[in-house]
Amino acid sequence: MSVPSSTPRGGGGTSTADALSASTEAFRAAGIADPGTDAEALLSEIAGVRRAELVAFGDREITGPVARAFAEAVRRRLRREPVAYILGTKGFRHLDLSVDRRVLIPRPETEMLVDLALEFRPSSVLEIGTGSGAVALAVADEVPGCLVTATDTSAEALEVARANSLAVGVGERVEFVEGTWGPPGDYDLILANLPYVPAGTRLEPELASWEPASALFAGPEGTEVIEEVLAGLPGSGVRAPVIGLEMGHDQGEVVGELVSKAGFGELEVRRDLAGHERVVVGRQPGTPGLG
């Protein structure tokens, strides 16, 4: 449906404005954090129009397939299914990625790992725990000529990542490997967004009930997976002068110690836009900038 050419109000359907109002109120009653934003995101995507058009043409009716699809999307959202899973897509950097329950939904703070690659301009990157492929594909998209090896222990996640790679069109520069480590060798940069939520943490229903627990939860402290991966680095055959790890907002000291113990003695903790410690960057002593 295109809202501008849809049926004027009075034809028996529900107006765009009324549909948005009713769904927003239902979402608010269900405790959803951004009810109006979610309602607009669902309807604009299903109707195939920009959000501004939903407001400009609020008196237009939604009928037929669009009305049915929107009603089903609202029902799913009321069950607290994330919007990204309902729509099947999530924007990350300049990319529109397919996502479903096999992978975590890419989040803005994870873009800091891509920023790190842009800073160092590496020729080769190893990403550990790629999930949907968001970081690997963004790095390949934004760092000219960079070759990326992306790993994940989940074969299902790699299916999603490979499909995204084909859709984005950078498949010739991204290799996906099942497991923790890629082929032994020298890389310019290691990036990783590993599980870091302490077991037993109470999360919003969108996370707790829908996103893959294996990609969220580590152990009692939340740093166990990071510790295990870093401990395996010496025997992996993988070498890199710089590493960047996403972490929980209160894990900077512990993760920094683990990174230092793994041989990256020059440490920096970077904060996200909310002011939370989010990424630990470790360099081997004396490492110059790569770019």
Question: What pLDDT is attached to residue 53?
Answer: 84
Question: What pLDDT is attached to residue 286?
Answer: 74
Give the mean pLDDT of 68-94.
97
CA distances from 66 to 1, 38, 72, 99 (A): 7, 16, 10, 22
Question: What pLDDT is attached to residue 9?
Answer: 46
Q: Give, to the nearest 10 degrees, the angle between helix 64-78 and helix 35-47.
A: 150
Look at residue 225 and tell me whether its pLDDT is greater than 80: yes
What distance in Å separates the CA atoms of residue 169 and residue 85, rounded to the nearest whole number?
Answer: 22
Per-residue pLDDT band at 213 (split at 50, 70, 90): very high
Look at residue 180 and tell me whether its pLDDT is greater than 90: yes
Beta-strand relationship, 189-192 and 242-246? parallel
Note whether 188 and 125 are within 8 A (CB): yes
Question: What pLDDT is attached to residue 6?
Answer: 41
Question: What pLDDT is attached to residue 171?
Answer: 82
Question: What pLDDT is attached to residue 118?
Answer: 97
Tokens of 188: 């310019």
pLDDT, one tens digit per residue, over 123-136 is: 999 999 999 999 99
Question: What pLDDT is attached to residue 59?
Answer: 84
pTM here?
0.91
Give the mean pLDDT of 152-176.
95
What distance in Å separates the CA atoms of residue 190 and residue 150, rounded to the nearest whole number?
Answer: 10
What distance in Å separates the CA atoms of residue 18 and residue 204, rounded to the nearest whole number?
Answer: 28
User: Could you tell me which of 149, 141, 163, 254 has the C-alpha nearest to residue 191?
Assistant: 149
Run of H or E residues at 245: strand 242-246
Run of H or E residues at 78: helix 64-78
Per-residue pLDDT band at 63 (split at 50, 70, 90): confident
Question: What pLDDT is attached to residue 281?
Answer: 97
Q: Angle 279-281-287 (CA atoms, 0-180°, nearest 5)?
A: 165
Question: What pLDDT is attached to residue 81?
Answer: 98
Q: Which amino acid is at 2?
A: S
Give the mean pLDDT of 141-160.
97
Note whether 225 and 171 are within 8 A (CB): no
Run of H or E residues at 104: none
Note whether 274 and 242 are within 8 A (CB): no
Domains of the chain in sequence order: 3-79 (1.10.8), 104-283 (3.40.50.150)
What distance in Å separates the CA atoms of residue 161 and residue 37, rounded to the nearest whole number?
Answer: 27
Q: Angle 216-218-224 (CA atoms, 0-180°, nearest 5)?
A: 145
Q: Which residue has the higher pLDDT, 53 or 9?
A: 53
Question: What pLDDT is attached to residue 3?
Answer: 38
The rounded mean pLDDT for the chain is: 92
Question: What pLDDT is attached to residue 14?
Answer: 86
Question: What pLDDT is attached to residue 1?
Answer: 36
Tokens of 77: 């959202």
Question: What pLDDT is attached to residue 12?
Answer: 54
CA distances from 271 to 75, 127, 276 (A): 37, 20, 5
Across the chain, how many H-helices and E-strands are there?
A: 11, 13
